[in-house]
Structure 1
Amino acid sequence: MIEVERETSGQIINKVLLVEDAPFYVRIVENLLPKDVFIVITVSSGEEAIKRVFEDKDIAIVLMDVVLSGQLDGIKTAEEILKVRDIPILFLTSSTDPKTLERINSLGAYGYIPKGTEGVSLLSNVNMALKLHETRLKLKEKEATLRAIVNTVKDGILLLDQAGRVLFLNSAAEKIFGYTNSEARGKGLFSLLEPEWILDLVSGDEVKSEKLEYLKHLEGKELEVKFKHKREERPIFVDMTFSLLKIEERAYYVVAGKDVTKHKELQEKLLYLSITDPLTGAYNRRYTEQRLQEEMERSKRMRTVFSVIMFDLDHFKRVNDEFGHDIGDEVLKRVTDVVKRRIRKIDTLGRWGGEEFLVILPGTTLEKAVFLAEELRKKIEQENMPFDGNCTASFGVTAFLEGESGKDLIKRADEALYKAKNEGRNCVRYAIY
């Protein structure tokens, strides 16, 4: 084996590892490669080749016979070599059956030369493989530099192909979405995230995820996406901006994603505080009036029914006077909890003032509202209270009449409540007109 690697001029000579167990073929290869450009090192088995490539970092290319002596054939040897080094491998084979060629191609190798034709193509193929490998290394270096730069960006960056499949995501995107780069690669963005909902930040409209399969609709879009974090199983809100990128007539999409979960949580908290009563957690009067107006408009537009229940705690002043305001506050909280547990999500419970509450019941007839009020009355009476005794409430119920104002509706409910108070309290009364 020749160990000289450089000439006195300092020119780098390409060191070639020839893996071949036929001495006559070794001589053919050595004669075909110019000695002033190449140094040929020969080993006869796959095991020797792996050891040599691992030890000698100056080997520039491997010429590999497919059929070798020893336990490893040339293709298996190449697989092992590529696990430890990124090096061009050019196969020499006397077999051109499809199965062998498929195994060679699956390695991402630099091609093969049929034995017997090497006189024409060996030198050109070796030079081409060396040049191609050099180009690949430069591209990888540039890609690594670009990745390093992109990974310093605080926002998540994703690169999608024309079909919407993920090609790359940076470190910030891995944290935001809960997927590693390797896990996400090749998958469709919105099939990967399985969003609970998508909001167009420009129009304010909700977007159906199936529409986003057509990437031509995504360019310039600003979307807010809610989904579950893959690893932490918590809801995530991400603002996404989509930009079209064209490189050599190929289209890509760059997605910039910003985690706005904390901002959304703060917004929701501020909204909650602005519309709820701080003591009981029921909606405050201002928001309840807004909901009443919305329900009236919906009823007029859709020609649907709805009813309201107004109730007031009996002798509540006596509770405050005898047991103190802290006990009174606890009574209000427990009554609110009783009602919340029974009503539907679409219903609205609002603290109307003091110990008085209003329940708005969409799609509910007067008869059903009266039945619910009676059920609530019993539950409040049976609820354990923080003092020796129980708490009762009086109820007034009415249904919305077409064409009337909110003021008229509330007045009628209040009159029904007043009637319940006058007729002994702890009872339900209703008003039709």
Structure 2
Amino acid sequence: MMRAWVDHTEVGMGMAIADDNGRLFEQFFDSYLQELYIFHPTTLAFEAINRAARQNLGYIDEQLKRMTVADLVPEFILETFESLLQPLVRGDQEQVVIDTYIRRQDGSLYPGEVNIQLFGYNGEKHCLALINDLSKVEGLEDCLREKEMTLNAVMDAAQDAVIMLDGSGNVTYWNRAAEDLFGFSREEILGKELHNLITVEGWTAEVYGRAFREFQASGGGVLVGNIIEVTAKKKDGREVEVALSLSALKIQNSWHAIGIVRDISQQNQSKRELESSRQKYLDLAENAPIGILACDLEGNITFVNQRALDILGSPGSEETRKINLLTFPLLIKHGFSRNLAECLQKNTASSFELSYKSKWNRQVWLKVYTKPQISQGAAVGAQIIIDDISERKQLEEKLLNLSITDNLTEAYNRRYFIQRLEAEIDRNRRAGNPFSVIMADIDHFKTINDRLGHDRGDVALKKITSEMIRKIRKMDTLARWGGDEFMLLTAETTVEQAGVVAERIRGSLCDLNIPEVGIVTASFGVVAGYAGDTVDSIVQRVDGALYQAKSAGRNCVKLVDAFSLQPPEQRQSGQ
């Protein structure tokens, strides 16, 4: 990924550097989601650091530009790091990858994989470093290990022997039931070929080999998807009849087999074994970390575990069983009953998400899995798994807000405003709905920064934004356009109505006394959208209106008549 990014970036970078201001590259570099650093290969001083890196480190851009790589990587001194870069400088390698720890401003460390390459920047060779924050990866690895331990515990509790074979037919997994059935311990059997253990009655080694080669090539064949009865040989030489079921699983482009083996030599014990197995699975379900329910064809709850009760906020199993899953009004309202009915009628599994407020006033986002319970080819009920995904949904909403919001003022950002404006232009083109755009510029804002500092300037921007939001409708879109400029999109609004909105905001700002700053005024340009408009044409027009307001002495509103901007042939015809 690093290579592909750099290859693509170097082409775009060359084009951007050739441009006088390089804004395209700067925007791309700063908005890249992973941490990016540009530093000099000799001095190791930073030339540029993108927003993702600054946010993770806690430094501002000015601080980082006075620092070197050694300031962030405590285990390196300059000479050590320079020696690591020598293969790049000499051209012996295209990329250097280092696993290390990076120090944040607060002194905390996080693990990172540092990918470094050389590229041209401002006419010189510089180092471009991309850092993958491995702290999340380590957390994921811990989670995977925990799930693996859980899976092993479940598999060891299974009554049937579970065997897994690699692409060569060697045993790679052997659970406790397999040890009991065959007499071989895991240490004795792992790595051995399965056909050395199982004698397939009526098959020659050649037939077995041909069948397994077919499985290796396609993951199919007579061994897969069927239950076959074979004679297996125990460690002590005794034979036992077993039922063998094989499934295929593709891992790293190689087909692996998962075998479920059951002893069928003592049919008179099968009923007790099934009951024992059923009880173990019920115990697992009762204590599972996810909610599990079961119902019959009429929607009556036949099983519910403790986790499901917790998710729904239920006081107990008896109270929950009073609810019919197909007829309860709240479940019908949120679409749960419809999905469950389809599962029961069509014998198909499904999964869906819904925001649900339970009978006991518990508001929760649910991930729901429904699967029919089949007996003799027909559905007799359904199994339902519910998982509380409220935290995930809150995180998704937070991430969405971050992606469309200006992080200083909490107004929308420029990218989102353009999306909303494009949608409004399209709506106007299809239905003729009026809309207007207001552009505002804070008067003499630079003097606030120069006189009081950027901190007070930021406070002023926040106060001004809050006041503007207070004066507009929820359906309007206010965005920070850049610096001290704002854009406001007002749907279903003529230019005259938008002018009233702008005047209301202007007057409100005149009455706003910002602590340590005082009164701050603003100039406003107002235009209406019309057929044939584009984002660029509207922005150009409203910018012209704003210029008129500034030229008129600032602290005023200037409206541009859309008719005066129509093509000459339309004006002459009176359209």
Alignment CA distance shift 1:298-1:218 (3 Å)? farther
Shift of 1:171: 1.2
* Residue 390 (structure 1) aligned to one of 514, 519, 541: 519
Alignment CA distance shift 1:379-1:274 (3 Å)? same
Mapping 1:52-67, distance limit 5 Å = none
Quote the Cα distance in structure 2 between the aligned partners of 1:162 and 1:267: 36
Q: Which residue of 1 aligns with 2:459?
A: 330
Quote the Cα distance in structure 1 between the aligned partners of 2:484 and 2:331: 42
Deviations along 1:34-84, whole A, 9 cap, x unmatched? xxxxxxxxxxxxxxxxxxxxxxxxxxxxxxxxxxxxxxxxxxxxxxxxxxx
Shift of 1:401: 0.9
1:277 and 2:406 correspond: yes
Quote the Cα distance in structure 1 between the aligned partners of 2:550 and 2:347: 61
Please tell me the residue identity of whatever aligns with 1:189: L
Contact 2:425 2:533 in 1 (8 A): no
Quote the Cα distance in structure 2 between the aligned partners of 1:347 and 1:265: 24
Deviations along 1:261-306, whole A, 9 cap, x unmatched? 1111112112211111110001111111111112212222232111
Q: Which residue of 1 aligns with 2:288?
A: 153
Please tell me the residue identity of whatever aligns with 1:187: I
1:164 and 2:299 correspond: yes
Q: Which has the larger radius of gyration?
A: 1
Tell me the secondary structure at the aligned position of residue 309 of structure 1.
strand
Tell me the secondary structure at the aligned position of residue 513 of structure 2.
coil
Shift of 1:188: 3.2
Contact 1:330 1:386 in 2 (8 A): no
1:183 and 2:319 correspond: yes
1:294 and 2:430 correspond: no
Q: Which residue of 1 aligns with 2:217?
A: none
Q: Which residue of 1 aligns with 2:471?
A: 342
Shift of 1:212: 4.4
1:244 and 2:382 correspond: no
Q: Which has the higher contact order (CA 8 A, sep 6+)?
A: 1
Tell me the secondary structure at the aligned position of residue 189 of structure 1.
coil
Quote the Cα distance in structure 2 between the aligned partners of 1:266 and 1:422: 46
Q: Which residue of 1 aligns with 2:507?
A: 378
Deviations along 1:156-203, whole A, 9 cap, x unmatched? 1111222334332211111111123222213133775837986xxxxx
| TM-score, length-scaled by structure 2 | 0.46
Alignment CA distance shift 1:190-1:365 (3 Å)? farther
Alignment CA distance shift 1:340-1:230 (3 Å)? farther
Shift of 1:418: 0.8
Shift of 1:236: 1.7
Q: Which structure 2 residue ranges, 5 or more long, are not aligned?
A: 1-273, 566-575
Mapping 1:16-415, distance limit 5 Å = 147-179=282-314, 180-189=316-325, 194=330, 211-212=338-339, 214-215=341-342, 216=345, 219-228=348-357, 235-247=363-375, 251-387=380-516, 389-415=518-544
Deviations along 1:215-268, whole A, 9 cap, x unmatched? 43794221101123665x564211111111134656212111121111111121
Quote the Cα distance in structure 2 between the aligned partners of 1:197 and 1:293: 34
Shift of 1:406: 1.0
Q: Which structure 1 residue ranges, 5 or more long, are not aligned?
A: 1-138, 199-207
| TM-score, length-scaled by structure 1 | 0.60
Quote the Cα distance in structure 2 between the aligned partners of 1:345 and 1:161: 46
Quote the Cα distance in structure 2 between the aligned partners of 1:271 and 1:158: 33
Please tell me the residue identity of whatever aligns with 1:178: G
Shift of 1:310: 0.8
Contact 1:309 1:360 in 2 (8 A): yes
Quote the Cα distance in structure 1 between the aligned partners of 2:418 and 2:528: 16
Quote the Cα distance in structure 1 between the aligned partners of 2:457 and 2:332: 41
Please tell me the residue identity of whatever aligns with 2:538: L
Quote the Cα distance in structure 2 between the aligned partners of 1:271 and 1:424: 40
Alignment CA distance shift 1:355-1:187 (3 Å)? same
Quote the Cα distance in structure 2 between the aligned partners of 1:196 and 1:267: 26
Alignment CA distance shift 1:250-1:287 (3 Å)? closer
Q: Which residue of 2 aligns with 1:30?
A: none
Please tell me the residue identity of whatever aligns with 2:283: A
Quote the Cα distance in structure 2 between the aligned partners of 1:314 and 1:217: 66
Tell me the secondary structure at the aligned position of residue 246 of structure 1.
strand
Q: Which residue of 2 aligns with 1:41?
A: none
Tell me the secondary structure at the aligned position of residue 258 of structure 1.
strand
Contact 2:327 2:337 in 1 (8 A): no
Contact 1:195 1:226 in 2 (8 A): no
Tell me the secondary structure at the aligned position of residue 403 of structure 1.
coil
Quote the Cα distance in structure 2 between the aligned partners of 1:347 and 1:381: 22
Tell me the secondary structure at the aligned position of residue 283 of structure 1.
coil
Quote the Cα distance in structure 2 between the aligned partners of 1:378 and 1:368: 16
Shift of 1:315: 0.8
Tell me the secondary structure at the aligned position of residue 194 of structure 1.
helix
Contact 1:147 1:170 in 2 (8 A): no
- Tell which deviates more after alignment, 381-390 or 263-272: 381-390
Contact 1:196 1:226 in 2 (8 A): no
Please tell me the residue identity of whatever aligns with 2:500: F
Contact 1:193 1:227 in 2 (8 A): no
Contact 2:326 2:332 in 1 (8 A): no
- Tell which deviates more after alignment, 180-189 or 291-300: 180-189
Tell me the secondary structure at the aligned position of residue 358 of structure 1.
strand
Contact 1:307 1:362 in 2 (8 A): yes
Contact 2:494 2:528 in 1 (8 A): yes
Q: Which residue of 2 aligns with 1:23?
A: none
Contact 1:285 1:351 in 2 (8 A): yes
Quote the Cα distance in structure 2 between the aligned partners of 1:187 and 1:428: 61
| Superposed CA RMSD | 2.9
Deviations along 1:368-392, whole A, 9 cap, x unmatched? 1111111111112112302252111
Quote the Cα distance in structure 2 between the aligned partners of 1:365 and 1:196: 43
How many residue pairs end up in the alignment?
286
